[in-house]
Every structure is written in C-alpha cells, then in structure tokens.
C-alpha cells in the first residue's frame, strides 16, 4: 500500500478524484458513519504523487513514502 | 522510485465539522505544515475569529483563543506585545475580518503590528447561512442580497491586502492565494510561509488572504465552487504577492 486512508473522515466532496492524475480514486459502495461513500484508492494505479493529500480538506490521506 | 511521506501535522489531525469541499480544511492544514517546516509548532498562538473559522477552536491542539467577533486584530496585538517572540497568527473569515472587525483589522495593519493575519475570503458569512459581506461579488445572490449585490448602494467588494501593500509603508508582506488546484495550494503554502518568516524576523505586519470555496452557501458542488473561484473571483481578486519581504519601509 502506498497511501493509507481514514475513511471515517471522508465527506465525498470529490476533489481528490477530480485531481488524481492516474484515475486511481473511486468511491466505496458502503457509507461511513456520517453517511458518505468514502474515497478508495486502487493501489495498482496509484503512483504516490500525493496530490490527493494536497487537495483533501479533511485529512483523509497519508502518503506513506519510501526510500529509493 | 523514492516517494515523499505526506502526513497531516498532529496538531491539526482531528476531524473538523466543515461542509464537504470547504476551503477552511486545506488552509488550516497548510498553516500547520508551514509551522512544522519552520520548526515553530511549539511557538504559536492563534487568535481565532467567529464564523466557520471557529471550528479551529476544537480542531487545533495548540494555544488558541476564540475572540469576540471581529476583534482578533486587537487580541493579536495584545498577545504579540506581551510575547514578542511567540508567533501570533489570527485566523478569520471575510465577514469577521472585514465587516464586523474592520476597525480592529485596519488599525492593527495601520500600527504595523508584528502579527500574521490569515483571512478566509469565501465572499459571504458562511456560518450564518450565506449573508452578503464586504467581499461579496457584484451581482452575487446571497440571503441578504437576493436580487444580486447592487454595488451602487452597497459599495464595491474590498481588496484589503492590496490596500495594506499600497497604503501602509511599514507592512512587511501582503498576498492573496487560493485552493483551487494542487499548484495553487502549493503556492499558497509558500505565501503563508513567507508571512510567518516575516514575523519570525520581526519585519512587521503580514497578511495572506485566501479565496476559499463555500459550496453549501454558493449552491454548488465543491468542484463547481473551485471553477467559480477561477472564473469569477480571480479576475477581481488577483492571486499574487502585493508586497514582498524586504520591500517595506522600516
Ligand atoms: C457579535 C456577533 N454578531 C454576529 C454574530 C453572528 N455571526 C456568527 S459567524 C458570522 C459571520 C462569519 O462570517 P465570516 O467571517 O465570513 O466566516 P465564514 O463562516 O464565512 O468562514 C456572524 C455574523 C456573532 N456570533 N456575534
Ligand atoms: S497519490 Fe496520486 S496517484 Fe495515488 S491516489 Fe493520490 S492522487 Fe492518485
Ligand atoms: S478529497 Fe478527501 S473528503 Fe473529499 S472525497 Fe476525497 S478523501 Fe473524501
Ligand atoms: S458554511 Fe461554507 S465556510 Fe462554512 S463550513 Fe460550510 S462550506 Fe465551509
Ligand atoms: Mg466568509
């Protein structure tokens, strides 16, 4: 896994999905406790660029980072 | 391939009650990231305004004071004068800083207090249901300008950072950024850092205004709200540094 998420915090605003350069983000079929469908990352497509972290207003993403 | 870790700073890593897609969440994180990079997380106090900015009262884990509406400029002055080496960063909305608190905001800038002011300009009173503010655009419909703002009777939207840069020779830094894209967010973070560094070096007053979406009161999706900022707001409220560090009269 490259990016860890906190689904409980997602408010389904769509900004991460709209900005992800790899189309790696979709929304879960399930809802979180607040009633939103949280963002889900397809790890195969994700390049760990951190754009989702940058644009998310609700601190959902943690880009784990790794050494070369 | 090496990748960089990106993690919300612990002092702001709490769920906050902003609406989906609200700009406040990004800006509050950027301020904490900037403080972290400047190694100042244990040297900060926030005078917080009244409005959706008040969410920071519960959302931050550091020294902060929820001020009376609009008065953060005066509170910040007191904080800074008794603690000149502590960073004092007021966090206010447009309604708080420019309508209700214009006297305090103006006078703190006029006196060139050594503080940093962050104003979240979402062109309305977000918290109370989207009333017109001094930054509401001409023609913009709000709950108190139902036919659209008529500037012939209300005056025109205020551009305060430009005024600071133009009229207050001692002021250290004045800029406006936005949160509409990753590139804009990164630029805004640099503006915030510049303002904080100006304060760390006691260079004088600094202000960063942020054009920020309020999707709920604008009646738009978060993505449309970002488009509105790009298309409608930026032509009137330009993004950039109106006064850079080192350009002020001491
Ligand atoms: C003395 C006083 N007057 C009025 C109010 C009601 N009030 C609460 S928030 C607010 C406006 C906030 O607008 P802004 O500063 O733009 O913040 P936003 O919610 O848009 O981020 C007002 C008028 C109040 N709380 N106290
Ligand atoms: S890190 Fe980049 S590629 Fe991966 S999900 Fe986030 S935005 Fe998409
Ligand atoms: S940007 Fe954040 S809150 Fe918005 S949909 Fe993506 S993960 Fe959820
Ligand atoms: S009312 Fe507007 S400013 Fe307040 S939290 Fe909601 S979107 Fe943000
Ligand atoms: Mg406002």
Task: Delineate the domains of chain B, giving CATH numbers in brackets.
Answer: 19-243 (3.40.50.970)
Using DSSP's 3-state secondary structure scheme, residue A51 falls into helix
Q: The complex's ipTM?
A: 0.97
Q: What is the CATH number of domain A2-64?
A: 3.30.70.3270
Q: How many degrees, rounded to 5, is the angle at CA B34 between CA B28 and CA B40?
A: 105
The chain B residue lying nearest A53, using CA atoms, is B6
Chain A residues with CB within 8 Å of chain B CB: 2, 8-9, 11-15, 18-19, 36, 48, 50-51, 53-59, 61-68
| A58 neighbourhood in chain B, CB within 8 Å | 15-16, 18, 25
For the full predicted model, state whether its pTM sits above 0.95.
yes
Q: Which residue has the higher pLDDT, B162 or A65?
A: B162
pLDDT, position B3: 87
What is the distance between the alpha carbons of residues A19 and B17, in angstroms, rounded to a whole number? 23
pLDDT, position B117: 98
The full 3-state SS of chain B, as one line of letters, equals: CCECCECCCHHHCCCCCCCCCCHHHHHHHHHHHHHHHCCCCCCEEEEECCCHHHHHHHHCCCCEEECCCCCHHHHHHHHHHHCCCCEEEEEEEHHHHHHHCHHHHHHHHHCCCCCEEEEEECCCECCCCCECCCCCCCCCCECCECCCCCHHHHCCCCCHHHHHHHHCCCCCEEEEEECCCHHHHHHHHHHHHHHHHHHHCCCCCEEEEEECCCHHHHCCCHHHHHHHHHHHHCCCCCCEEEECCCCCCC
Mark yes or no for CB contact B185/A55 under 8 Å.
Answer: yes
Candidate from A51, A55, A66 with C-beta closest to B3: A66
**What stretches in chain B show pLDDT beneath 70?**
none
pLDDT, position B2: 83
Ligand 3 binding pocket includes A41 (Cβ within 6 Å): no
In the structure, what pLDDT confidence band is assigned to residue A67 with cuts at 50, 70 and 90?
confident
pLDDT, position B41: 96
């Amino acid at each position: 896994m490259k990016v860890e998420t906190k689904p409980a915090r997602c408010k389904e605003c769509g900004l991460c999905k709209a900005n992800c350069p790899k189309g790696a983000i979709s929304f879960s079929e399930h809802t979180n406790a607040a009633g939103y469908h949280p963002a889900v990352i397809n790890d195969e497509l994700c390049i760990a660029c951190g754009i989702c972290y940058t644009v998310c207003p609700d601190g959902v993403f943690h880009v784990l980072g790794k050494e070369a | 391939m090496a990748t960089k870790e990106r993690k919300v700073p612990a002092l702001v890593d709490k769920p906050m009650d902003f609406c989906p897609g609200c700009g406040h969440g990004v800006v509050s994180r950027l301020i904490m990231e900037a403080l972290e990079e400047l190694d100042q997380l244990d040297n900060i106090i926030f005078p917080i305004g009244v409005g959706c900015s008040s969410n920071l009262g519960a959302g931050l884990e550091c020294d902060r004071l929820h001020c009376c509406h609009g008065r953060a400029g005066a509170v910040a002055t007191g904080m800074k004068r008794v603690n000149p080496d502590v960073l004092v960063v007021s966090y206010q909305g447009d309604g708080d800083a420019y309508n209700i608190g214009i006297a305090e905001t103006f006078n703190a800038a006029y006196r060139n207090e050594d503080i940093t002011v962050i104003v979240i300009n979402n062109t309305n009173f977000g918290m109370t249901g989207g009333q017109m503010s001094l930054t509401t655009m001409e023609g913009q419909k709000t709950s108190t300008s139902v036919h659209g703002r008529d500037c012939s009777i209300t005056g025109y939207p205020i551009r305060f950072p430009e005024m600071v840069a133009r009229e207050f020779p001692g002021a250290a830094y004045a800029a406006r950024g936005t949160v509409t894209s990753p590139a804009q967010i990164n630029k805004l973070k640099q503006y915030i850092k510049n303002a904080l560094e100006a304060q760390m070096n006691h260079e004088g007053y600094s202000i960063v205004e942020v054009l920020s979406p309020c999707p709920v009161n604008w009646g738009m999706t978060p993505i449309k709200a970002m488009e509105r900022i790009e298309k409608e707001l930026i032509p009137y409220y330009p993004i950039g540094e109106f006064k850079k560090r080192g350009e002020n009269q001491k």
